[in-house]
Chains A and B, each alone.
Chain A
Amino acid sequence: MNNKEQMLRDIGILCFTVVELSLYLDTHPNDRNAIEYFNHYNRIKTQMEREFSKNYYPLKLDYADSNQEWRWGAAPLPWEGVCG
């Protein structure tokens, strides 16, 4: 598994973790502890997404801004069987 695939996998796992924490926080909005966990993992996830978007292709439109070239279309399309 090369760096690109590893990063994609890690971002996916972080997304999963952030969603799990948000589901818990939906029913426990005042739980400071859980909020800190959420902030922590959400920051790491965003940072990794930015880094991935800089190195390979933007994962979200938010990360598509670039001073070189427009890379938003560079992402592989879902039916191209890349996101295995």
Chain B
Amino acid sequence: MQDYKFDEHCEQFPVAMAYVPWQRFNGIYEDLEKAYRIGTIFPELNKPFTGGRCVQ
């Protein structure tokens, strides 16, 4: 089984808790029409579902 690299940065947090990294602002999509179709103006939040049959 692969040994996932232990991230010492997380040591300060209690175990068994989920953590969401804080979003940083580094600009938005140039083409707003494309962003509108994608559903977000932030490239880092563009996470399309790519599994299974319902992918075009």
Q: Interface residues of A toward B: which range?
A: 10 to 19
| Interface residues as binary, B20-41 with A (CB distance below 8 Å gives 1, 0 otherwise) | 0001010010001101100011
A24-B25, A31-B25 given as contacts; is B33 within 8 A of A13 (CB)?
Answer: yes
> Quick check: B42 and A20 within 8 Å, CB to CB?
yes
> Quick check: A17 and B28 within 8 Å, CB to CB?
yes
B20 nearest CB across to chain A (Å): 11
Q: Interface residues of B toward A: which range?
A: 10 to 19
New A-B contacts (20) at CB < 8 Å, excluding given A16-B36, A21-B28: A12-B36, A13-B32, A13-B36, A14-B32, A16-B32, A16-B41, A17-B28, A17-B35, A17-B36, A20-B40, A20-B42, A21-B41, A24-B23, A24-B42, A28-B23, A28-B25, A31-B25, A33-B25, A34-B25, A37-B28
Give residues in A with beta carbon < 8 Å to B: 12-14, 16-17, 20-21, 24, 27-28, 31, 33-34, 37
